[in-house]
Every structure is written in structure tokens, then in C-alpha cells.
Structure 1
Amino acid sequence: MSDPWDRVGVVETYTGGRFDLFDPDPDDIRLQDIATALAHTCRFGGHCQWFYSVAHHSIHVSRELPSADPRLQLLGLLHDAGEAYIGDIPRPLKAEYEQFDRVEERILEAVWTAVALEPPSDGEWERVMAADDRLLAYEADRVLEDGSWAESVADLGYDLQSDSIDAIRDRFLSRGETLLNRLPEQP
């Protein structure tokens, strides 16, 4: 048996596991790893006026979705879970190089399996992405020096001043566990 470190795409996770970026295994995914990595990852490639994490963003995306639908809220919370393993790659770069999207999609498929969640339907994913876009505009308008490119900025009322990384990680983890517990029993 070969050493997993011999493979090019393997990274070590917060909990000490190993994760293969190019052959993601749902058994290697831990909500703790996702929460920790996203809490340490700054939005907008780090070009914010203050530190604002992807985990904090994801909590707000989740809250933008109907509270009566814990599945949709969980999809919103985990919509950027791939970034826990590959980082927050700016949209223009993803748009130019499709391979980033393919790697991230495969990781998200593994995430859905790891948390026993059916992959989102097209309609569900559209709702999550619409919430993500609302947050993108709201955040750009507030955390970037010049977010004037953001159109139709609604005042969503979210506090974007981040707590400590540990506090955001714990909030993300708690929200994820709460939403997982609110899901209907699987047959």
C-alpha cells in the first residue's frame, strides 16, 4: 500500500486527517475541518478593510434562506465548503479556468455525501446562489474600499465585523450541527 503523502493532491486537515483534492473521499470530510478552514479564510482574496471570513459569510448566506427549510439553509451554509480545501478563489479566476470549478464541484459532491445530504436540485442551488449573490453585493459595499461595482445593494442588516476566528468557527460548527439535527430522518 502506498503512502497517501506520495500523491500530489493530498493535504492535511485541521483534525489531522488527509484529504485528496483530486479524489475526494466523503470519509475524509469533517464539519470541524470545514468550519476551521473557512473561519481562517478571508473573503475577497483578503482584500477587505478588515478580516471577514468565508465562514462568517456562509452563516449569513444560510440565514438568507427560509428558516422552515433546514435542508436549504444547510446547503447555504456549506455552499463554499470546497473552499475549506482549495481556498477562496476569486470568481473571475474561476470563470477563466473551469478546472477550479470541476475540482470544487467534486469536493462538494463528497461533502453532500459526508453529511448524508442529497445533492441540491437545480432550483435549490439557484436559490442558494441568489442568496450568495445578495451577500456578495452587501459585503462588497461594506468591506471593500470601493465596492461600488456591486449593484442593487439591499441593506440586509448583517453585522460584518467578525468576532474572533475561534468564535466564528464555533458559530459555523454549531449552526451546521443544529441544521443537521433539524433534517428529517433518512429512510
Structure 2
Amino acid sequence: MTSGPSNGAGEDRPLAWPGDPELVSAADIDFEAVAHVLANTCRRGGRMRQYHSLAAHAVVVSEEIEALHGLSSEDQRTLGLHALIAGAASAWLREVSGGAARGPDRAGKLAAGIERALREAAGLDPVLGEEHAELLRFVDRMVASAECRDLLDGKDTAGGALAFPPCRRRVRPLAPDRAARMWLSRLQVLRETAGGGRTPVGTDAARN
């Protein structure tokens, strides 16, 4: 399910929208365009009473990661950035992942390639260690349960009780424009923390 088009900070320049998933490189990625695609894509394919986007979900998971105790500030930043872009490959794959032209194995390979490009563009290492990957999955499941609690009347999408403990924070629906702005703002903050200065969020072409 997608919402209507949303306009944000990119109104002053053309956006490089995600295109062919076969031809994605770090230099091609326009994070502002990605933010709007994710903000206009329903987290659960429309199977909920209130709209909740992939971008809004990613922001919550990223913020919950940063709130964890026992991690260094750099681990919090790195994991928060991984969480923010974890589902961003769907911006390229949402139109084709179920198509007959590409089977599930091929779609998986495409997703892996896009994820590597996203990490490179975000300034991350290409591979996340298994311990940190498991922590990220754990927090993602907590947030998913909180979404069920707050946006699905306390049930999962199949109508059953919550199968995983939710995080404490309340999850509230966000309009696409606001979700895109929050996703971009969080990306900016996490990248600035690493570089000690302002890091533009568009493509290399847009920066030149």
C-alpha cells in the first residue's frame, strides 16, 4: 500500500528515485528520494487501521537502539544507522520482488547487493557482525510488537496475541511528509556524529 506523493526538502532539486534493482551502486543512492519512497510505503501492506510507514518504523527502531544500555556511543551510532537503512532495499524491490521474472533466490541476491550499496553510501562497513545483527533483530521485533499493541488493537496481523515483548514507547502513526523528514533528520544526525561535520544526504551528483 502506498500513500500519495509527499514533498519535502527536495523540492528545490530533482530527486534520483530508486530505479533498476540490478544496477544499484553507492554513488547512485539519493537518500532523500529513498526517504520519500519508504515514507509512502505502508509497513504492513495496508493491513492495519492506521497508516504506518517503513520510514516511521525504521526511525523508531533506530532510536530504540540508541537508547540501549551497555553499548559504546560509537556502537549505538553505528547500530542506529544500520537500523535506519535496514529495510531501505525495498525502495527498489517493492515493485518486482513478487514478480514472475525474478524468483525468491534472485530477489534475495538483489536485496543483498542493494544493502551493501546502502551501507557504503551511509559510510558503514559492508557487513554487520552477527552479535550486533542479532541485537538489531531483537529490537526490531520489540518495535514490531509495539506496533501491534498500539496500531493493531493489541493483535498481530493474524489476529493472535503478541508473541514478543513490546518496547515501552508508544508507536504513533505519522503522515508521510513527517516520516520522511524524521528519517532524513536521523540519517543526518548519525552521519554527522561520525564525521564531525555536516554530511549531505543526496547523491554525489546532487552535491556537485
> Scaled by the length of structure 1, what TM-score is found?
0.78
Kindly state the Cα deviation for residue 17 of structure 1 after the two structures are TM-superposed: 4.8
1:102 to 100, 109, 123: 109
Whether the 8 Å contact between 1:42 and 1:88 is mirrored in structure 2 is no
Q: Do residues 168 (structure 1) and 175 (structure 2) align?
A: no
Q: Do residues 15 (structure 1) and 15 (structure 2) align?
A: yes
Aligned partner of residue 65 in structure 2, secondary structure: coil
Task: For 1:139 and 1:17, locate their aligned partners in 2 and report how far apart those are by CA, in whole Å.
Answer: 28
Task: For 1:109 and 1:100, locate their aligned partners in 2 and report how far apart those are by CA, in whole Å.
Answer: 14
Task: For 1:128 and 1:63, locate their aligned partners in 2 and report how far apart those are by CA, in whole Å.
Answer: 12
Task: For 1:143 and 1:42, locate their aligned partners in 2 and report how far apart those are by CA, in whole Å.
Answer: 13
Q: Output one character per residue of 1:77-126: Cα deviation in whole Å (capped at 9) or x when no partner.
A: 11111112223999xxxxx9343332211111010111221121222222
2:133 partner amino acid = W
Residue 7 of structure 1 is matched in structure 2 by: none
Q: Do residues 144 (structure 1) and 155 (structure 2) align?
A: no
Aligned partner of residue 66 in structure 2, secondary structure: coil
Aligned partner of residue 23 in structure 2, secondary structure: coil
Residue 199 of structure 2 is matched in structure 1 by: none
Residue 9 of structure 2 is matched in structure 1 by: none
Q: For residues 72-83 of structure 1, what are the structure 2 equivalents within 5 Å?
A: 72-83=79-90
Aligned partner of residue 56 in structure 1, secondary structure: helix
Residue 6 of structure 1 is matched in structure 2 by: none
Kindly state the Cα deviation for residue 73 of structure 1 after the two structures are TM-superposed: 0.6
Task: For 1:144 and 1:48, locate their aligned partners in 2 and report how far apart those are by CA, in whole Å.
Answer: 6
Task: For 1:20 and 1:31, locate their aligned partners in 2 and report how far apart those are by CA, in whole Å.
Answer: 16
Quickly say closer, same or farther: Cα 1:177–1:37, change in 2 above 3 A: same
1:118 to 107, 113, 125: 125
Kindly state the Cα deviation for residue 19 of structure 1 after the two structures are TM-superposed: 3.2
Task: For 2:58 and 2:96, locate their aligned partners in 1 and report how far apart those are by CA, in whole Å.
Answer: 15
Residue 52 of structure 1 is matched in structure 2 by: 52
In structure 1, list runs of 5 or more residues that go unmatched: 1-13, 91-95
Kindly state the Cα deviation for residue 127 of structure 1 after the two structures are TM-superposed: 1.5
Quickly say closer, same or farther: Cα 1:161–1:18, change in 2 above 3 A: closer
Whether the 8 Å contact between 2:18 and 2:91 is mirrored in structure 1 is no
Quickly say closer, same or farther: Cα 1:179–1:139, change in 2 above 3 A: same
Q: Do residues 85 (structure 1) and 92 (structure 2) align?
A: yes
2:183 partner amino acid = F
Task: For 2:96 and 2:63, locate their aligned partners in 1 and report how far apart those are by CA, in whole Å.
Answer: 23
What percent identity do the matched residue pairs reach?
22
Which range moves more in the overlay, 65-74 or 50-59? 65-74
1:42 partner amino acid = C
2:60 partner amino acid = H
Quickly say closer, same or farther: Cα 1:88–1:66, change in 2 above 3 A: farther
Whether the 8 Å contact between 1:37 and 1:85 is mirrored in structure 2 is no
Q: Do residues 63 (structure 1) and 71 (structure 2) align?
A: no
Whether the 8 Å contact between 2:61 and 2:83 is mirrored in structure 1 is yes
Task: For 1:45 and 1:15, locate their aligned partners in 2 and report how far apart those are by CA, in whole Å.
Answer: 25
Task: For 1:81 and 1:18, locate their aligned partners in 2 and report how far apart those are by CA, in whole Å.
Answer: 10
In structure 2, list runs of 5 or more residues that go unmatched: 1-13, 68-72, 98-102, 197-208
